[in-house]
Chain A
Amino acid sequence: MMSIEIEAWVRMAAFVGAGFSMGFGAIGAAIGEGFAAAKANNAISQNPTYSGDIVKMMLVGQAIAETAAIFALVIGVLLLFATGGNASMITAAGLLGAGLSMGLGAIGSGVGSGFPAGEACDGLSRQPALSRTLTTTMLIGSAVSQTPAIFSMVIAFMLMFVNFSGGSPHMVAALLGSGLCMGFGAIGSGIGSGFPAGQACVGLARQPAMGSRLTTNMLIGAAVSQTPAIFAMVVSFMLMFISFAGTPVHPTSAALLGAGLATGLAAIGSGVGSGLAAGSGVEGWARQPTATGNVLVIMLVGQAVSQTPSIFGLLISFILIFKGYPSTEVFLVSTALISAGLCTGLGGIGSGVGNGQVAQTAVSWVARNVEQEALLMRTMLVGQAVSQSTAIYAMVISLALIFLV
């Protein structure tokens, strides 16, 4: 059998992590910037006189969307030159986790920041006089959409630079789980926060008098859409800093990896879904300034229900982290625990987005037809409850895998 030195494992993990960081990290920003450029072309064709202003707006917006990819570049370059002072397998897992966290975490923010950039260009072609307000709204919206990428960068830096190498052997799985959790968990919130930010720019061009109130609603909607990414960050921190020293290495390691996957994957759907509802809420305020209260209420209810799958993910993660396990070398148990995390995580994606779609349409029709608010609220809740069912099945299978196997 060939023997590979620990230092070699650390360098291998750092190089693969650098690849993940820049490879995944390039996806989102490129899509977002492409959306901005497409909208800018469209805007120039509608109003060629202001082409200079529109191109300037496009470039500013694209520069912000690029931020997430630049974070990924920075982490990637740092990983290339990571030395791993106290080399151990834990250091290697931390470096790989850092690459995954930053790379996956940059996808959503890149896409999301593209929406306000594109819609601001479009708005400028309709209302050239609003150039300054549109730029401000776009900047605020893009900045909020970047938040999940910043969470991912914080987690990546901690995984790289905090010295975990003296910890128990569980830390290998814990650090990998931590990186995967934050990386996946940032995708949905990044994309989702982009919807209200984009709609704020659209609404501003349509109803300039609503300006600051649209920004307020955008911030409320985007803040709620951030929740799944915050859940993922909390679980990432727990995986990094809770000491599992007294527990058996197997199957606790598998449980920690599963915990990261459950919250991270389930956050994707809820983040996108809450964002769809928030976007529609901002659009509704611009369309019907007299019904802002009604629109806000149904938007928040719709967002809260869309959050459910990510709460299922959080619940399964907590059970996986805190349930004590008898020591076993049987690899069956470990497989069951990883499978439990994957099941709730993946199973929450569809329901989160589906709930968001229902809320999006219900919010938009309350803005058009406020007398039917009660009826629409009822239909929305029934529709969301049914669309939730598959996430509940997934949670039941996960619980069976954890407790019955």
Chain B
Amino acid sequence: MIEGADLIQAAAFLGAGLAMGLGAIGPGLGEGMVGAKACEAIGKNPSEAGLLTRTMLVGQAVSESTGIYSLVIALLLLFVV
């Protein structure tokens, strides 16, 4: 016999997996694009490597934010809700 509370908890577990799994796709792709362009820019202009690496990391950090939102939601669904 399945009770309502069980169903709600199960939905939270499934939601956590989907939130983190699907949420990880975008940042992975986006940060890859940033990294690719940084390699290209450093290839063209190696003397600015330090500046370009810094810019790459800042750009990737911003693109990471949605992944962190997913992580927060997944953790909330797992342990708090």
A368 near B: Cβ within 8 Å?
A: yes
**A8 touches B (CB below 8 Å):** no
* Contact in complex: B28, A380 (CB < 8 Å): no
A390 touches B24 (CB 8 A): yes
Q: Mark A345-384, 1 if CB is under 8 A from B, else 0.
A: 1111111111111101110111011011001100110111
Pick the contact of A346: B25, B33, B40, B49 (CB < 8 A). Answer: B25
Contact pick for A336, options B13, B21, B24, CB 8 Å = B13
Across-interface contacts of A360 in B (CB, < 8 A):
36
Say yes or no: A355 contacts B32, CB within 8 Å.
Answer: yes
Given contacts A342-B21, A347-B25, A389-B64, contact A361 B14 (CB under 8 A): no
A400 on the B face (CB < 8 A) = yes
Q: Mark B49-81, 1 if CB is under 8 A from A, else 0.
A: 100110011001100100110110011001100
Are the C-beta atoms of B31 and A383 separated by less than 8 Å? yes
- Secondary structure of the A contact surface, majority rule: helix
Option from A342, A361, A387, A393 in Cβ contact (under 8 Å) with B39: A361
Q: A330 in the interface, Cβ–Cβ < 8 Å?
A: yes
Tell me if A269 counts as interface (CB < 8 A to partner B).
yes
Report B-chain residues with C-beta under 8 Å of the C-beta of A344: 21
B31 and A379 within 8 A (CB): no
Select one of A309, A340, A347, A387 contacting B35, CB under 8 A: A387
Q: Which residues 12-40 in B have Cβ within 8 Å of A in the complex? A: 13-14, 16-18, 20-40
The smallest C-beta distance from B33 to any residue of chain A, in angstroms, reads 6
Counting CB contacts under 8 A, is A335 at the interface?
A: yes
Contact of B43 among A330, A351, A357, A365 (CB under 8 A): A365
Contacts of A354 in B (CB 8 A): 28-33, 35
Question: How far, in Å, is B53 (CB) from chain A's closest CB?
Answer: 6
Residues of B within 8 A of A394 (CB): 20-21, 24
Residues of B within 8 A of A382 (CB): 35, 53, 56-57
> Is residue A405 within 8 Å, beta carbon to beta carbon, of the partner chain?
yes
Select from chain B the residue with minimum beta-carbon distance to A340.
Answer: B17
Assess whether B23 is in contact with A390, with CB atoms less than 8 Å apart.
yes
In this complex, the member of B21, B34, B52, B68 whose beta carbon has the largest number of chain A beta carbons within 10 angstroms is B21
Name the B residues within 8 Å of A130 (CB-CB). none
Shortest beta-carbon distance from A53 to chain B in Å: 36
Q: Which of B14, B32, B68 has the most CB of A within 10 A?
A: B32
Contact A332 B9 (CB under 8 A): yes
Q: Is A77 an interface residue (CB 8 A)?
A: no
Q: Which residue of A lies closest to B32 (CB)?
A: A354
Q: Is the CB of B42 within 8 A of A386?
A: no
Known: A342-B17, A375-B42, A379-B39. A397 touches B71 (CB 8 A): yes
Report if A263 contacts B (CB, 8 A): no
Asked if residues B70 and A393 are in contact (CB atoms below 8 Å), the reply is yes
CB < 8 Å neighbour of A375 from B6, B10, B23, B46 = B46
With contacts A358-B36, A365-B40, A398-B17 taken as known, whether A350 is within 8 angstroms of B24 at the C-beta atoms is yes
Q: Is the CB of B35 within 8 A of A400?
A: no
Which residue on A lies nearest to B2, using beta carbons? A331
Query: Cβ of A332 and Cβ of B64 under 8 Å apart?
Result: no
Instruction: State whether the Cβ of A79 lies closer than 8 Å to any Cβ in chain B.
Output: no
Per the bound structure, the CA–CA distance linking A349 and B22 in Å amounts to 9
A338 within 8 A of partner (CB): yes
Instruction: Tell whether A358 pairs with B71 under 8 Å between CB atoms, given A351-B24, A375-B46, A390-B64.
Output: no
B18 to A339, Cβ gap below 8 A?
yes
When distances are taken between beta carbons in the complex, the residues of chain A under 8 Å from B33 are 354, 357
Contacts of B49 in A (CB 8 A): 375, 379
**Which of A349, A366, A375, A400 is close to B78, meaning CB atoms less than 8 Å apart?**
A400
CB pair A339–B13 under 8 Å, yes or no, is yes
Query: Are A383 and B28 in contact (CB-based, < 8 A)?
Result: no
Q: List 18 A-B contacts (CB under 8 A).
A: A339-B18, A343-B74, A347-B24, A347-B25, A347-B28, A350-B29, A351-B32, A352-B28, A358-B35, A362-B39, A365-B44, A369-B43, A379-B56, A382-B56, A390-B24, A393-B20, A393-B71, A394-B24
| Other 17 A-B pairs with CB < 8 A, given A343-B17, A382-B56 | A332-B10, A335-B14, A343-B20, A347-B24, A350-B24, A351-B24, A354-B30, A362-B39, A365-B42, A379-B39, A383-B39, A390-B28, A390-B64, A391-B24, A397-B78, A398-B17, A401-B17
